[in-house]
């Protein structure tokens, strides 16, 4: 079983949003997916509670329970665990990073957000785990996102997804309906396309 984790010490960067859509996309790609919510805010669990479909399996765990929950998921035949994590949680973040095969750090494009990624990078580097950035909630017309990509590539040493996830109401709406963008967005929809690209990029790192 492969384990990916969405991490970031800053709040609201899109960890939960991208975790749930990725979990759905990976399931559509043939994985048996468990989505593990380690955030006491339980946003991913909320999404799961609103979902009409049994997959992905959604589990709630404290970071301290993670080892046990991951072992149970593997014993159940799961092939991918997607771990959502809490902001502002340095000791717990280290606990999550320890288990991950690849860590995804979503970030918005502002200078504040880019600088704030540093504390997360320190944690994942201390865990000696592969990690990468994805720019999230980007207004496509804003030129700064190009500069943000360049900054990420030169500054922190991780992988950088070579595209941006747009600022789209579809992503926000689906949290309340328990759906994934690759399920409800029209076949050529932009949200769907971006999540497919995100999953493809993650797979390249597994």
Ligand X SMILES: Nc1ncnc2c1ncn2[C@@H]1O[C@H](COP(=O)(O)OP(=O)(O)OP(=O)(O)O)[C@@H](O)[C@H]1O
Q: Can you give the binding site for ligand X, defined by CB under 6 A? A: 8, 11-17, 39, 41, 43, 87, 136-137, 165, 167-168, 171-172, 175
Work out the number of other CB atoms within 10 angstroms of the CB of residue 49: 10
Which is closer to ligand X, CB of 28 or CB of 167?
167
Does 15 sit near Mg ion (CB under 5 A)? Answer: yes
> Could you tell me which stretch among 11-19, 52-60, 98-106, 147-155 binds Mg ion (CB under 5 A)?
11-19
Work out the number of other CB atoms within 10 angstroms of the CB of residue 52: 7
* Nearest distance from C-beta of residue 108 to ligand X, angstroms: 8
d(CA 83, CA 34): 8
* Nearest distance from C-beta of residue 89 to ligand X, angstroms: 9
Residue in the shown chain whose Cβ atom is closest to Mg ion = 16
What are the Cα distances from residue 112, in Å, to 29, 42, 106, 115, 117? 35, 26, 14, 5, 9
Work out the number of other CB atoms within 10 angstroms of the CB of residue 203: 16
Which is closer to ligand X, CB of 72 or CB of 175?
175
Contacts of 196 (CB under 8 A, 6+ apart): 25, 182
Q: Select from ligand X, Mg ion, none the partner in contact with residue 167, using the beta carbon and a kind-dependent cut-off of 5 to 8 Å.
A: ligand X
> Could you tell me which stretch among 40-48, 61-69, 70-78, 189-197 binds Mg ion (CB under 5 A)?
40-48
Residue 51: what are its φ and ψ, rounded to 5°? -90, 140
Which is closer to ligand X, CB of 59 or CB of 137?
137
């Amino acid at each position: 079983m492969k384990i990916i984790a969405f991490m970031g010490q800053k709040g609201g960067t899109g960890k939960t949003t991208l975790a749930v859509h990725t979990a759905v996309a990976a399931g559509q790609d043939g994985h048996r997916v468990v989505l593990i919510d380690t955030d006491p805010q339980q946003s991913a669990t909320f999404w799961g509670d609103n979902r009409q479909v049994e997959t992905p399996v959604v589990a709630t765990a404290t970071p301290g329970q993670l080892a046990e929950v991951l072992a149970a998921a593997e014993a159940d035949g799961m092939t991918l665990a997607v771990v959502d994590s809490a902001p502002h949680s340095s000791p717990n973040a280290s606990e999550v990073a320890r288990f991950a095969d690849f860590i995804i750090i979503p970030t918005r494009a502002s200078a504040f957000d880019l600088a704030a990624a540093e504390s997360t990078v320190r944690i994942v580097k201390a865990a000696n785990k592969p990690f990468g950035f994805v720019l999230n909630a980007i207004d496509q017309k804003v030129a700064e996102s190009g500069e943000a990509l360049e900054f990420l590539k030169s500054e922190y040493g991780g992988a950088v997804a070579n595209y941006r996830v747009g600022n789209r109401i579809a992503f926000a709406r689906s949290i309340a309906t328990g759906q994934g963008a690759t399920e409800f967005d029209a076949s050529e929809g932009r949200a769907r396309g971006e999540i497919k690209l995100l999953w493809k990029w993650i797979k390249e790192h597994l």
